[in-house]
Structures are given as structure tokens and as C-alpha cells.
Amino acid sequence: MELFNLVAEREVIAQLVNFKTEALTQCINEIDVNDFYSVDFQLLFLSSAKLISESKTLDIVTLFNEVNGKVNLNIGELAGIVNESINRKHCHIDEYAKIIHELADKRRLHQSIENISAFFNSDVDSLSAVELKLKIENIISDTNSTDNILYV
């Protein structure tokens, strides 16, 4: 199972360029820059939000100039992302933002579980660590325990 959706990330960036403030307003409460899996899309999102907040022009050229040298996209690829999206009549940026955020939460949970597992695979002899390990194993065995693992 992939813990990211690059199509959703591309769509959010495209909608920011196409619809600017309206699109940013729809997604800003749902996601932040760290929710993006792709570093390129993180930089594009951050730069788009910056340009919008500074009331600067946000178009393909301005955005590309803002991130030039920092992303692995050329201006043609960025234009392709934006132009693909403009042909869609019904794009719900808030739904894409929700997908991105939910997958980011799953990535963070997965990373937490890996970190906890690595910790307990080392030599740990204290009673409190053993108790914590048992609590975590019980929580992890419940596949619907996203909230519970953060509680521990």
C-alpha cells in the first residue's frame, strides 16, 4: 500500500496556480507543507502560498522562477501539471487536500511504529519499557488504532 498520492499532490499545486487565493483558502486548513510526500511539491506549495500571501502574481513562470534550481522539474513539466488540471471542469481541491493529509498521517504513524519497533528490538531490560512494549503491541494489533498509538 502506497502512503502517498502524487496525483493528488499535482492537482493541489495545479489548482493553486489556476485559482490562487480561492484554492489556497480551500486547502490551507486541511494540509500543510509537511503533508506532501514529494519534496518538489512541498517547495511548490510553499512558494505558491508565499506568492499568494504577498499578493504577487502566481503563474507558471513566476512559480518556476521562485523554485528554480530547488526542484527536479523543468518549466515544461510544471506547465504540463498546471495545464492538465485546467481542462477539468470539476476539481475539488479540498478533497485532494484531505487525501494528502490522511496519507501523511498514515506515513507518520508508520514511521512512529518503525521507531518504536527499532527501540524495542534493542537490548531493553527495564520493567517500564517491557510494560510499554506490551501496551504498544496490543494497540498495534488493532488495525483501527491510529489515535491510540499517538496516545501511548
pLDDT in tens, 18-63: 888 888 888 888 899 999 999 999 999 999 989 988 999 899 999 9
- The answer to whether residues 91 and 113 touch, using CB atoms and an 8 Å cutoff, is no
- The answer to whether residues 48 and 90 touch, using CB atoms and an 8 Å cutoff, is no
- The answer to whether residues 47 and 56 touch, using CB atoms and an 8 Å cutoff, is no
pLDDT of residue 60: 93
Q: Which residue has the higher pLDDT, 144 or 136?
A: 136
Residues 6+ apart with CB under 8 A from 104: 31, 34, 35, 36, 37
Distance CA 113, CA 133 (A): 11
- The answer to whether residues 64 and 78 touch, using CB atoms and an 8 Å cutoff, is yes
Confidence of residue 148 (pLDDT cuts 50, 70, 90): very low
Q: Mean pLDDT score of the chain, rounded to an integer?
A: 81
Q: Which residue has the higher pLDDT, 25 or 5?
A: 5
pLDDT at 78 over 50: yes
Q: Which residue has the higher pLDDT, 74 or 116?
A: 74
- Give the global pTM: 0.74
Distance CA 81, CA 79 (A): 5
Mean pLDDT over 65-75 rounds to 92
Distance CA 39, CA 71 (A): 8
